[in-house]
Amino acid sequence: MGAIRERITGRRLAPGARLPSIRAFATAMAVSKSTVVEAYDRLAAEGAIEARRGSGFFVAGPPQPFSPADLGPRLERAVDPFWVSRQTLDAGDTVLKPGCGWLPAEWLPQESLRRSLRALSRAPAETLADYGTPLGLAPLRLWLSRRLAGHGIEAAPDQILLTESGTQALDLVCSLLVEPGDTVLVDDPCYFNFHALLRAHRVRMVGVPFGPNGPDLAAFEQVLSEHRPRLYVTNSGLHNPTGASLSPVVAHRLLKLSEPFGLTIVEDDIFADFELEPAPRLAAFDGLERVVQIGSFSKSLSASVRCGYIAARRDWIEGLIDLKIAGSFGTGRLAAELVLGVLKDGGYRRHMDGLRTRLARAMGETAARLHAIGIEPWIEPRGGMFLWCRLPEGLDSAVIAQRLLAQDIVLAPGNVYSLSQSASRFMRFNVAQSGDPRLFAALGRVVKDR
Amino acid sequence: MGAIRERITGRRLAPGARLPSIRAFATAMAVSKSTVVEAYDRLAAEGAIEARRGSGFFVAGPPQPFSPADLGPRLERAVDPFWVSRQTLDAGDTVLKPGCGWLPAEWLPQESLRRSLRALSRAPAETLADYGTPLGLAPLRLWLSRRLAGHGIEAAPDQILLTESGTQALDLVCSLLVEPGDTVLVDDPCYFNFHALLRAHRVRMVGVPFGPNGPDLAAFEQVLSEHRPRLYVTNSGLHNPTGASLSPVVAHRLLKLSEPFGLTIVEDDIFADFELEPAPRLAAFDGLERVVQIGSFSKSLSASVRCGYIAARRDWIEGLIDLKIAGSFGTGRLAAELVLGVLKDGGYRRHMDGLRTRLARAMGETAARLHAIGIEPWIEPRGGMFLWCRLPEGLDSAVIAQRLLAQDIVLAPGNVYSLSQSASRFMRFNVAQSGDPRLFAALGRVVKDR
């Protein structure tokens, strides 16, 4: 391999040139033909050379150059619903990401994941190679059915559809239930990607102010009668970005208000594993009649392994399956097996217990350090990773976010979450990604300079 | 674990009952407390018991029963664009699936997959846990860039976007380029899921008859001027379901005809690895100006590992990334690493060489066995797994498919591929799934009975 690589880099073998035949090269190097076959195969697998059937091996063309589009955050991008996603996903390893929506890799159950991967390497051929069933891996749906039961939600495994992600789960529910031009109700503030996804579905969005116990009920009622939304998308436990949890009274009244309007509610339960005490679930109160629950394992288990779910009334499942086939065909069987392996690993529950404690400590520390520079949390969340904070008067979080991006710090400015653009003084902090003192030094300077 | 399980199945511990405390049970069983902790953890991971924070362990409720929806093909379903997908994906292990669109698991590169899984179990934490970059794993995009170059398509890695699947790739391209109500041109016959996906995008479809060298050019021209389609979706090499390959002359004329109409063409190259001699690629002739190429690894590598791609002009990539984030957020980093591991495995190229030979043999055998009962291939495909066959006069392939489904044989009747419903005498056979004599016996009876 080395001898061929040297000839290629030294241009003695130019791009497109034919390599010596296997027999000739084996003779020249005084090695066996099988050694040369192996070396050529590996070089071909690397892309340095290519095999053309029937005519031998040839030097591959020069690789196409990378463009700057590959190289990290783009400063000029306007702060739109994609701003935080793009900047955090594009950020390199040296960039601080207090604005991002996930845990550092080393906070996740790595050892369970590694064990699950090793177990999969010994799985039957079908597990490794076949499409799964349309509903998705049955034992994982059974596990989810039991977890939902723990939250008071009765959902049989055949009412649960596995998806590629929580986002795809919402995408499918929207495809099933809303038409372009329909109105969809969201919390203000809410997870920015709800705006992005709903926009892609060409729906009209209306917002309802979100308070410490859930949506403002007077505003909710008014929006219902005025706009007749088809759907309402929300988080009941550990709302994103505020960290608030729905109170049982608000849950009851919200469902009662929605009933005469035939409103369907999508409850995104993605942060369920992070609650210290479980909030009431709309899906439990309602019994999956007019509530659909979605979720995923991206936050507590791995974002690299894609697996989400939809729990819904039985008569919606067939339509959701058809839409899943139309838009993504298979169901990520390997990802589902990997997730199941982790969930069934004895160490996983203890990992999650430890993680909740670690997050609670990080939340206390982050709140104290923000307080020291005049930034205060809107509420004290009951668990989770997010602190939704108010900045001192006169500061605009989008301006700060763009300024700190130039210093390799990606923040999450309030207005990316706000349909009414009324959260310019707010900022969401991920406490698990806020351990570096450079963040508070940079923020402190901004606050002082105002 | 056994002692607790016994108490649960014997109903001495009823659903919801509290388990003995760890200390009490350790004393009772004369084992250490850590042994009991481990046993309870494993039982909790299995779902037999559940931990409630602060109050101990409790017997889980009885699992929800499975409904018949979980149990295999449904006979009563009408033959619609989802018929083949649903019946083949739902089919159990004992069902013959000559109608399905994939290889048997043991025909895929299992050993390379297992090696890649083992390597991943030792990968850095970020690989296992983090979202990937929005474009997707850079070395895999570089590999794809080189493979595309091998087909004469110049696509830099930053013009390549990884997706969850080839289907999601088409879904994203449609989201970017077509509006509800637009017209999209498809081959007649074409892959049935194009119908399903385009229907979900609420577009109007028009078909053009597909011949042994590509679409009928006179019909193509007429459709362009009459319907002004926004998009044309096709396969150039090893067209699904016919197995036909585009000729260079048809490729040239088709592009020339499309130009004045500003038609965009999506070339789905999913069967690229199966060609014995490469067909011309529209994306190579056109230079990715008005052609987008999509593909995936589901057919040649694994359908359980979800990974596809889009190669497109640079100015479309940003929009595609935003749509990918909106609809699925992450990019399946683990799946991409797994695919890359297989592609770089020295044994993979040899596996593919062997696979092409095996498929060619299976094609010859299947054609001979079908001929013996009066079923003839429309053309002799240059590679791949599909034989598109004409049935003897007087037979309707949908009727036969429904009849053989009752005998646990899933077929692919012609009209699921045909927008004009003009393929009732055709049937697609997957030669890799047609080795069982029961298939030909059952088909022979049907032909005789007509």
Last residue of a domain, one of B343, B374, B406: B343
pLDDT band at A91 (very low <50, low <70, confident <90, very high): confident
CATH number of the domain that residue B152 is part of: 3.40.640.10
pLDDT band at B29 (very low <50, low <70, confident <90, very high): confident
Cis peptide before A62 (omega within 30 of 0): no
* Nearest chain B CA: its distance from A269 CA (Å): 16
| In a shared domain, residues A338 and A391 | no
CB A272 within 8 A of CB A313: no
Report helix, strand or coil for B265. Answer: strand
| In a shared domain, residues B77 and B23 | no
For helices B217-227 and B248-258, angle between their N-to-C axes, nearest 10 degrees: 20
CB B400 within 8 A of CB B447: no
Q: What is the pLDDT of residues B347-371, one digit of tens each?
A: 888 999 999 999 999 999 999 999 9
| In a shared domain, residues B138 and B189 | yes
DSSP H/E element including B448: helix B437-449
| In a shared domain, residues B157 and B175 | yes
* Mean pLDDT in residue range A396-405: 94
Residues of B in contact with A329 (CB under 8 A): 85, 165-167, 193, 298
pLDDT at residue A67, rounded to an integer: 38
Last residue of a domain, one of A343, A372, A392: A343
Cα B166 from Cα B317, distance rounded (Å): 16
> Locate tokens 């003192």: which residue?
A437
Instruction: Give which of A288, A165, A294, A40 is closest to B132, Cα–Cα.
Output: A165
Whether residue B287 is contained in a domain is answered as yes
| In a shared domain, residues B150 and B96 | no
| In a shared domain, residues A182 and A305 | yes
Last residue of a domain, one of A343, A374, A406: A343
Q: Do A118 and B114 touch (CB under 8 A)?
A: no
CB A302 within 8 A of CB A340: no
Cα A257 from Cα A271, distance rounded (Å): 26
Q: Check if A382 contacts B (Cβ < 8 Å).
A: no
* b (16+ CB within 10 A) / e for B306-316: bbbbbbbeeeb
Cα B23 from Cα B312, distance rounded (Å): 64
Residue A43, CA distances (Å) to A30, A55, A447, A448, B118 in order? 19, 17, 55, 57, 22
Beta strands in A329-421 (DSSP E): 376-377, 386-390, 412-413
CB B397 within 8 A of CB B414: yes
Whether residue A64 is contained in a domain is answered as no
**B interface test, pick of A120, A158, A329 with most B CB neighbours within 10 Å:** A329
**Could you say which of B70, B304, B330 has the minimum Cβ distance to residue A334?**
B304
pLDDT at residue A63, rounded to an integer: 44
Q: Check if B74 contacts A (Cβ < 8 Å).
A: no
Cα B400 from Cα B389, distance rounded (Å): 14
Report helix, strand or coil for B186. Answer: strand
**Could you say which of A168, A317, A325 has the minimum Cβ distance to residue B328?**
A168
Q: Check if B42 contacts A (Cβ < 8 Å).
A: yes
Chain A, window 340-359: residues with a beta carbon less than 8 angstroms from a chain B beta carbon:
343-350, 353
Instruction: Give which of B171, B143, B371 is closest to B266, Cα–Cα.
Output: B171
Q: Check if B287 contacts A (Cβ < 8 Å).
A: no
CB A299 within 8 A of CB A271: yes
CB A212 within 8 A of CB A382: no
Q: What tokens does B143 get?
A: 């590999």
Q: Check if A86 contacts B (Cβ < 8 Å).
A: yes
User: Which residues does A286 contact at the CB level (< 8 Å), separation at least 6?
Assistant: A255, A265
Q: Do A304 and B61 touch (CB under 8 A)?
A: no
Cα-trace Rg, chain A? 26
Sheet with B376-377: strands ordered across: B376-377, B386-390, B426-430, B412-413
> Locate tokens 């391209």: which residue?
B173
| In a shared domain, residues B214 and B338 | yes
Q: Do B105 and A303 touch (CB under 8 A)?
A: no
Residues of B in contact with A86 (CB under 8 A): 134, 321-322, 325
| In a shared domain, residues B199 and B81 | no
pLDDT at residue A257, rounded to an integer: 97
* b (16+ CB within 10 A) / e for A222-253: ebbeeeebbbbbbbbbbbbbbbbbbbeebbeb
Report helix, strand or coil for A50. Answer: strand
**Residue A428 pairs with which residues in a beta bridge?**
A388, A412
Range with lowest mean pLDDT among A17-31, A43-57, A398-412, B21-35: A43-57
Cα A142 from Cα A158, distance rounded (Å): 9
Instruction: Report the half-sphere exposure of B72 (CA within 13 A, side-chain side).
Output: 14
Cα A331 from Cα A307, distance rounded (Å): 9
When the pLDDT of each residue in chain B is averaged and rounded to a whole number, the result is: 91
In this structure, the number of other CB atoms found within 10 A of the CB of residue B178 comes to 19
Cα A99 from Cα B68, distance rounded (Å): 46
Cis peptide before B241 (omega within 30 of 0): yes
Q: Do A165 and B345 touch (CB under 8 A)?
A: no
Q: Decide the pairing of beta strands A308-311 and A376-377.
A: unpaired
| In a shared domain, residues B43 and B91 | no
pLDDT at residue A270, rounded to an integer: 95
Q: Check if A50 contacts B (Cβ < 8 Å).
A: yes
> Locate tokens 């099933």: which residue?
A176
Cα A28 from Cα A136, distance rounded (Å): 55
Q: Into how many domains does chain A fold?
A: 3
Whether residue B64 is contained in a domain is answered as no
Cα B439 from Cα B450, distance rounded (Å): 17
Cα B196 from Cα A27, distance rounded (Å): 57
Q: Do A105 and B333 touch (CB under 8 A)?
A: no
Q: Check if B315 contacts A (Cβ < 8 Å).
A: no
User: Which residues does B401 contact at the CB level (< 8 Å), separation at least 6?
Assistant: B79, B83, B99, B410, B411, B412, B413, B427
In this structure, the number of other CB atoms found within 10 A of the CB of residue A8 comes to 18
Q: Do A330 and B154 touch (CB under 8 A)?
A: no
Q: Check if B66 contacts A (Cβ < 8 Å).
A: yes
**A interface test, pick of B34, B59, B103, B117 with most A CB neighbours within 10 Å:** B117
Q: A338 or B79, which is more confident?
A: A338
Residues in chain A: 450
Instruction: Report the half-sphere exposure of B432 (CA within 13 A, side-chain side).
Output: 22
| In a shared domain, residues A142 and A289 | yes
- This complex has an ipTM of 0.85
Q: Check if A146 contacts B (Cβ < 8 Å).
A: yes
Cα A299 from Cα A102, distance rounded (Å): 6
In this structure, the number of other CB atoms found within 10 A of the CB of residue B88 comes to 22
* Nearest chain B CA: its distance from A229 CA (Å): 21
User: Which residues does B32 contact at the CB level (< 8 Å), separation at least 6?
Assistant: B26
Q: What tokens does B181 get?
A: 């109500």
DSSP of B282-306, one letter per residue? Answer: HHHHHTSSSEEEEEESTTTT-SSS-
Residues of A in contact with B330 (CB under 8 A): 165, 167, 298, 303-304, 306
For helices B437-449 and B397-405, angle between their N-to-C axes, nearest 10 degrees: 130
Q: What is the pLDDT of residues A203-256, one digit of tens each?
A: 999 999 999 999 999 999 999 999 999 999 999 999 999 999 999 999 999 999
* Mean pLDDT in residue range A311-337: 92
Whether residue A124 is contained in a domain is answered as yes
Whether residue B419 is contained in a domain is answered as yes
Angle at A316 between CA A313 and CA A321, to 5 degrees: 125
Q: Do B66 and A200 touch (CB under 8 A)?
A: no
CATH number of the domain that residue A389 is part of: 3.90.1150.10
CB pairs under 8 A between A and B: 333
Q: What is the pLDDT of residues B110-136, one digit of tens each?
A: 999 999 999 999 999 999 999 989 999
pLDDT at residue A88, rounded to an integer: 87
Q: Check if A74 contacts B (Cβ < 8 Å).
A: no
Q: Which residue of A has its CA nearest to B153?
A: A64
User: pLDDT > 90: what percent of chain B?
Assistant: 74
In this structure, the number of other CB atoms found within 10 A of the CB of residue B15 comes to 12
When the pLDDT of each residue in chain A is averaged and rounded to a whole number, the result is: 91
Q: What's the domain range around B150? A: 110-343
Instruction: Give which of B225, B190, B187 is closest to B206, Cα–Cα.
Output: B187
| In a shared domain, residues B325 and B429 | no
DSSP H/E element including B210: strand B204-211
Residues of A in contact with B203 (CB under 8 A): none
Given a cut of 70, whether residue B64 has pLDDT beyond it is no
Cα A349 from Cα B398, distance rounded (Å): 51
| In a shared domain, residues A329 and A314 | yes
Q: What tokens does B216 get?
A: 């009928």
**A interface test, pick of B22, B64, B300, B344 with most A CB neighbours within 10 Å:** B64
Cα B434 from Cα B386, distance rounded (Å): 10
Residues of A in contact with B343 (CB under 8 A): 45
Q: What is the pLDDT of residues B184-236, one digit of tens each?
A: 999 999 999 999 999 999 999 999 999 999 999 999 999 999 999 999 999 99
pLDDT at residue A65, rounded to an integer: 37
Q: Do A66 and B108 touch (CB under 8 A)?
A: no
**Could you say which of A85, A105, A200 has the minimum Cβ distance to residue B129?**
A105
Whether residue B333 is contained in a domain is answered as yes
* Mean pLDDT in residue range B83-98: 89
CATH number of the domain that residue A34 is part of: 1.10.10.10
Residue B135, CA distances (Å) to A70, B159, B289 in order? 8, 9, 20
Cα B184 from Cα B207, distance rounded (Å): 9
Report helix, strand or coil for B141. Answer: helix
Q: Check if A365 contacts B (Cβ < 8 Å).
A: no
Q: What tokens does B274 get?
A: 């199966």
Amino acid at A222: Q
* Mean pLDDT in residue range B253-272: 97
> Locate tokens 């609650």: which residue?
A275
Report helix, strand or coil for A316. Answer: helix
Q: Check if A193 contacts B (Cβ < 8 Å).
A: yes
* Nearest chain B CA: its distance from A370 CA (Å): 26
